[in-house]
Structure 1
Amino acid sequence: MSDVRIRAATEADWSRIWPFFAATVRAGETYAFPMDLTAETGRPWWFASPPGCTVVAEADGVVLGSATMGPNRPGHGDHIGTASFMVAPAARGRGVGRLLAEHVVAWHREQGYRGVQFNAVVETNTAAVALWQSLGFEIVGTVPGAFRSPQHGYVGLHVMFLPL
């Protein structure tokens, strides 16, 4: 994946993120976002405000994936970060998710966060769970039946954590 570059997302990137964002949300298997999002209403769900940021993974001018990151909670919880990831369907299985994940962990470390917490990893998203565990994240709890999967019915949401 040496040809892939991770950089800060710009407003102009949203039109290239939106197609895979919309497809991922509409599939309903990995994010609990509203199903009726439009390009206009979906953007605030993805683009982080400072101190957070949103990045894209790009190769040859094509956006292959994106991640958004920042504090998990405001105020007294802002020392723990969080992030979300999406990879374009055509780029899945090529290591883009791992590159984005490694970037996010490094970014949180550089920003002085004490850990990264994922609040809602769908337990049937086994590729994501395996990726996070390979990077040192642990499942610290699972909320049974907290996610309604079109394919699997009610499944658990993992809370995963990586101390930094």
Structure 2
Amino acid sequence: MIREAKENDWDDIWPIFKEVVRLGNTYAFDPDINKQNAFELWMSLPRKTYVYVQGNEVLGTYYLKTNQAGPGAHVCNCGYMVSENARGKGIARQMCEHSQLQAISLGYRAMQFNFVVSSNTNAITLWHKLGFKSVGTLPNAFNHPSLGFIDAFIMYKALE
């Protein structure tokens, strides 16, 4: 089940966030970010945050926010995280599909991923399957812990 996150969900989201960010291979967040700063990024700044729950366990989370202000406010941005022990089970796909429906209901006309690390091939393959196009490349924009400087992609999908 996917539902909107509540503030008290943060204690269940934080281990997923910490696990993903500390690896340093998909998000351009400080790997040593503390719990409060992570809360601000994931729970306070976005317009909405959601959790994927199975039983009583949070297995994934995503945020949805306006990508730009003013004349660009019709395009949203999302970020997704799945617990390591729950990967490969279709949770990211379900969250991305859910986020598109939520975005449409909130009046967005498009979704843009600003910084998809080129080595994150599972995500890139999934986003392409879900209709996203790679519309730009940021050369050597990400300093991967084992691969060094690698590209990041901008991905985009018009919502209907």
Shorter-normalised TM-score: what interval? Answer: over 0.9
Aligned to 1:140: 135
TM-score by length of 1: 0.94
- What whole-Å deviation, never above 9, does each CA across 1:73-119 have from its counterpart, x for those lacking one? 12221110110000000110011101100001111112221100100
Letter in 2 for 1:29: N
**Superposed displacement of residue 35, structure 1:** 2.1
State the percentage of identical aligned residues: 40
Q: Is 2:42 the counterpart of 1:46?
A: yes
Runs of 4+ aligned structure 1 residues displaced above 2 Å come to none
Q: Is 2:159 the counterpart of 1:159?
A: no
Letter in 2 for 1:94: K
Aligned to 1:76: 71
| SS at structure 1 position matched to 2:134 | strand
Q: Is 2:117 the counterpart of 1:122?
A: yes
* Uncovered stretches (5+) of structure 1, i.e. residues with no partner: none
Q: Is 2:2 the counterpart of 1:6?
A: yes
Separation (CA, whole Å) in 2 of partners of 1:48 and 1:105: 20
| SS at structure 1 position matched to 2:146 | coil
**Superposed displacement of residue 48, structure 1:** 4.4
Aligned to 1:30: 26
Letter in 1 for 2:99: V
TM-score by length of 2: 0.96
Separation (CA, whole Å) in 2 of partners of 1:65 and 1:155: 26
Once superposed, what is the RMSD of the aligned Cα atoms?
1.1
| SS at structure 2 position matched to 1:54 | strand
* Uncovered stretches (5+) of structure 2, i.e. residues with no partner: none
Residues paired across the two proteins, number: 159
